[in-house]
Amino acid sequence: MKREFLEELKLEKEAIDKIMNENGKDIEAGKSKVTTKDKEIEGMRNQLGEANKQIESFK
């Protein structure tokens, strides 16, 4: 959300600041979840690679 959008709604500066602060918290929480999932995916890719190597060694 952009500050300009809220300003166009004629909201007071204090209200805009509070809204932007809360929005920032939500965005950071979302980024944190994505980072965690990215790390999980990378770990699973590594596990899959190792499993595929083991399967190939059995052939």
Amino acid at 45: R
Mark residue 2 as left, alpha or beta (left: phi above 0; alpha: psi -120 to 50; beta: remaining): beta
Domain range for 35 is 3-58
Domain count, the chain: 1
Per-10-residue mean pLDDT, the chain, length 59: 94 97 97 98 98 93
pLDDT at 1 (0 to 100): 86
